[in-house]
Structure formats: C-alpha cells, structure tokens
Amino acid sequence: MMDREVTIDWSENAWAGETVILSGDIGGTNANLAFVMKGDEGFRILMEVSASSLDIDAIGPLVVRGLEELNVRYPDLCPELGCISGAGPVNGNCCSMSNLPWGVDGDALTREFGFPIRAINDFEAISFGVPLLDLDDPDQVTVMPHTNGNRPEPEGDTRLIVGAGTGLGVSIMLGDSEAARSVPSEGGHASFSSFDRETQEILDQLRKEVGWVVENEDLLSGKGIVALLRYYMESHGSQIDETLEEILNASASDQPRLVSRYASNHPVCRGVIRLFVKIYGRVSADFASIVLPKGGLFLAGGIVGKNEEFFLDGNQFIRFFEQNECVQVRNILKDIPVYIIRNYNISLLGAANAGWAAR
C-alpha cells in the first residue's frame, strides 16, 4: 500500500493511558479505521486512517499502517480490542462485503495482531453509535419538529434507526451503556406498500422492472433515487435539458449524487427528492408503528445528510410520518422524537461501543 493512498488524521485529543479500541467502518467506497479512547468522558477518537476501498484488497495492511503511525507518537500504545464494521452480512466473525471482492475476517485479524477483533455489520455499528449522541448538540443531530410544532422528549430506551444509502438499513436499539443491545433486521427487504395514487403508479412501474415483489430498498436507496427519476420524468413528460443529460449519461452509482446536487435549482431533481422524502416518511412510520420507538427515530445514511433541507422543508417527511388510519396510532407517532444524525463519526464511535459492550 502506497502512502499516497492513505490519509492519516490526528484529533486534538491526546492519549493519557486510556484503553484504546481499534474501530472500523468499511464500505464499498471508503475504508476508515480509528483508534478510539475509552475513558471517563466516553469514546473519543485519537487518530483516523482512511483509504479508498477499491485501492486495497484487505483491511490488514491498513491496520498495519495505522499501528505504525500510532506507535511513532505513542510507542507504548497497543489497542486492547477491535471492532470493525462492514457493509455486508456477518456469519460468525466474518463480514462478507456486498460491494467488494474482499471481506473482514475478525478471527484472522485477531491472530494477525494479537488482540481480539470482532466483525459486525455496518448498521449494527450505527445502532451502537446512537446512544452516544448528544441530542442537545445541533452538530450531532437535527431535531425534526412535528406538524404541531412539538419536539417530544425521548422516553425509555427503545430507538429505531432507518438509514438509506447504497441500500436501506433498519435496526432497533434497546438499552443504554452496558445493557445496550442492537436488534438487527432486514427491513429494507420488506415489501413496499403504496399509500396514494402516485406511489401506486410507482409500484406498478417497478413491478415491470424488478418483478412482482417490490422492496422498500428499491425506492429508498441510491438505486431508488434513479428509479424515482425515471418515473418522474415519464409521468411529467420532462424534457431532457443539459442538467438531465449530464445525470442520465453518468454511471448508475453517480446519478443519485447528481440528483441531490441539482435538487436546489432544478425542478425535476427537486421533485424526485421530495418524492423520495415522502416515501421515506411513510415507510419509517410503518416501522415505527411496529416497535413504538419512544426513545426516538433516527435517520441515518448519506442521502439524508445530503438532502436535509428537503426533509425539513414544509414538514414533508413528518407529514407522511404522522399518517395512519387509526387515530390512536397517529397520536403515538406524533409523540415520537425524530432526529437526523449529523455526527459523521457515528459508525466509528458505534463500532468502538459495540466492541466494548461485547468484550
């Protein structure tokens, strides 16, 4: 691995003998590692090491590079344990990456580096990061008011996390501190249900493309934005201008990013993102009606972060989140706190928390 492929980022925190945890967030695009200190002030990042996931063929060399850099400044520092999350299913202590030809083998890494290293799913890491958030800090979360202006306070310790990115992740977080427990799910692969004429038309179109069973992830993901773009252009008879030509000529992986980029000043892109937000609100309400997360609904993932203004504009997300045929359920949904996660270190801190909890 060449130095130009690796980014080293030291925080302002200094090591004073605290326990250090190796944490990781490995996705299809970026591979990020952090050395996280666990002390009286909670979890704090000491140093991060990053590389393009496509530039490496295993995570071990990146760990070696990080340890070398760490020991230049702190020769006596050795992590006590590690927890590395990957975007893919976990079997035993191995994560098979969904979008990479290599995975994260916790047992092999443990043998290589001499301290216990656990492999977990990326959404489990986010779930374990949620209890660490300061809900009063606007740099960490954005509080979404309900349609009546109410900002409910969290009650209890049941939290729901819904995150749209490359796919759609859904999990439940129970408890705090040592009792924290993440309940995994495959909610992204649950069947999508239409709820008005527009979403029925979208469902009918997607059934022609993907088959009879249309999943939530087929709409709430990067590929979902592309599907909604096709629907929107066809249903509105949109003329292809310079902006749309750029988007349509881009790769499938770049199209969602471009739609988000132009949403503020292009009517078609804006319409697509508003449609995405509407569906996001309704699907989140379906999950919330099952678990009643009085501790909060947390929206994660890069798509929300890039389009926060549209989630807030006109209460679009909340209006559809609050909808339910049963008035009692509507009242419950209006009492659930809703947050957009803005702390982009949540996966690294959450992985450290998950590793610490399982030690």
Statement to judge: residues 337 and 200 lie in one domain:
yes
> The domain spanning residue 27 has which CATH number?
3.30.420.40
Give yes or no: residues 203 and 236 share one domain: yes
Residues 302, 353, single domain; the answer is: no
- Per the CB < 8 A criterion, the answer to whether 172 and 186 are in contact is no
Q: Which CATH number goes with the domain that contains 301?
A: 3.40.367.20
pTM for the predicted model, two decimal places: 0.90
Q: Residue 28: its pLDDT value, please?
A: 78
Tokens representing residue 205 in the block: 């179109």
- What pLDDT sits at residue 4? 54
Residue by residue, pLDDT tens for the chain (359 residues) are 445 589 999 999 999 999 999 999 998 778 999 999 999 889 999 999 999 888 899 999 999 999 999 999 999 999 999 999 998 889 999 999 877 899 999 999 999 999 999 999 888 999 999 999 999 999 999 999 999 999 999 999 999 999 998 889 899 999 876 677 888 788 889 999 999 999 999 999 999 988 889 999 999 999 999 999 999 999 999 999 999 999 999 998 899 999 999 999 999 999 999 999 999 999 999 999 999 999 999 999 889 989 999 999 989 999 999 999 999 999 999 999 999 999 989 999 999 999 999 88
- The pLDDT assigned to 2 comes to 47
Beta-bridged to residue 170, according to DSSP, are: 162
Task: Please indicate, yes or no, if residue 159 is contained in any of the structural domains.
Answer: no
Residue 35 lies in a domain: yes
What is the rounded distance in angstroms from the CA atom of residue 323 to the CA atom of residue 39?
Answer: 43
How confident is the model at residue 1, as a pLDDT? 47
When divided into structural domains, the chain yields a total of 2
Distances, alpha carbon 239 to alpha carbons 164, 246, 269, in Å: 29, 13, 13
Angle at 115 between CA 112 and CA 120, to 5 degrees: 90
Q: How many CA atoms lie within 13 A of 194 on its CB side?
A: 14
Domain carrying residue 43: 3-131+345-357
196 & 335 share domain = yes
